[in-house]
Amino acid sequence: MADGIVHIDGAFVPADEARISIFDLGFLRGDAVYDTVSVWKGMFFRLDDHIERFMRSCAGMRLACPHEPEAIKRILASCVSRAGLEDSYVQMIVTRGRFNTVGKRDVRRCENKFIGLALPYIWIISPEKQTEGIDLAIVENRRTPTESIDPTVKNFNWMDLQRGLFQALDRDADHAVLLTTGGVVAEGPGFNLFWIKRGRLMTPKGNVLEGITRRTVADIATEMGIAVEFGDFPADALRGADEAFLSSTAGGIMPVTRIDGKPLGNGAPGILTGRIREAYWSKREAGWLGTPVASLLGRQAAA
């Protein structure tokens, strides 16, 4: 079962056999929230932080998760174990479910559904491409404003991000970063963005998901004595950076070497980026902020 396991409707099934109703509003309306946590060398990373954010997302969308945090941990650990994965991309989802009365669209009365899954670890940028560096496009499509959709609620409303990705790919770039409607740098499809100017680390503060890997980068930078500035920055601040990188659960710290097809800095992955990236993976492999999958299964057996 190395291709993955899904927990749905109370059962564990192979990933390619998992099904939801086409009448679930998670499918029909994108009415769902999710969070993604990774397992590396048998260890969940910052699992409590991910579940805490997931529960906040549920509350933000008025979704009632059918499971308490400890039960979610055991379900996710069981998915990883049953799939036989040492390194895994693990997701928790709550969908709105179906309307329970024909002709009445009362979303308050839907039975919300939980899904957990574990797949082989996903890299949004391959390790080989990270060695070379990413060509990032600042695209024309703008990030949906926070007044419409709260970006701190991790949700499946990705139309703005997907349109931006199309625009980047059509320009032969590797990935996209979107600006806000006010013209400042926001984020990209599934990642936060950092850049470095004269030894100072900068990242957007508004209209972004408050990423767990983003938080981890700030923690590592603070340990290294590197100043971190969260702010509203114009696109030219990114274009004029010395170094830049993406941060995501799916890929970690990923160097950017070109912006809009033009070399960034000296056109190679940056030295400070490399230090942060090395610290991130070294600390993870040493078990920093990790929860062993096996320890959660042990709790389940004891219960």
Separation CA 191–CA 164 (nearest Å): 13
Report the chain's mean pLDDT, rounded to a whole number.
96
Beta carbons of 260 and 239 less than 8 angstroms apart = yes
Beta carbons of 92 and 119 less than 8 angstroms apart = no
Q: What's the confidence (pLDDT) of residue 1? A: 46
pLDDT digits (tens, 9 = 90+) for 96-155: 999 987 678 899 999 999 999 999 999 999 999 999 999 999 999 999 999 999 999 999
Q: Is 153 left (phi over 0), alpha (psi -120 to 50) or beta?
A: beta
Average pLDDT over residues 174-181: 98
Separation CA 53–CA 91 (nearest Å): 13
Structural domains present in the chain: 5-120 (3.30.470.10), 127-269 (3.20.10.10)
Strands 192-197 and 262-263: unpaired
Q: Which of 212, 217, 3, 7 is nearest to 91 (CA)?
A: 7
Q: How confident is the model at residue 303 (pLDDT cuts 50, 70, 90)?
A: very low
pLDDT digits (tens, 9 = 90+) for 18-66: 999 999 999 999 999 999 999 999 999 999 999 999 999 999 999 999 9
Q: What's the confidence (pLDDT) of residue 219? A: 98
Q: What's the confidence (pLDDT) of residue 299? A: 59
Separation CA 60–CA 72 (nearest Å): 19
Tokens of 293: 């999958």
Beta carbons of 242 and 215 less than 8 angstroms apart = no
Coil, strand or helix at 7: strand
Beta carbons of 256 and 134 less than 8 angstroms apart = yes
Average pLDDT over residues 202-212: 97
Beta carbons of 140 and 100 less than 8 angstroms apart = no
Contact residues for 228 (Cβ-Cβ < 8 A; gap 6+): 201, 202, 203, 218, 221, 222
- pTM, two decimal places: 0.95
Q: How confident is the model at residue 300 (pLDDT cuts 50, 70, 90)?
A: low
Q: Other CB atoms closer than 10 Å to residue 77's CB: what's the count? A: 26
Q: Which of 112, 116, 104 is nearest to 31 (CA)?
A: 112
Beta carbons of 125 and 79 less than 8 angstroms apart = no
Beta carbons of 97 and 110 less than 8 angstroms apart = yes
Average pLDDT over residues 204-226: 97
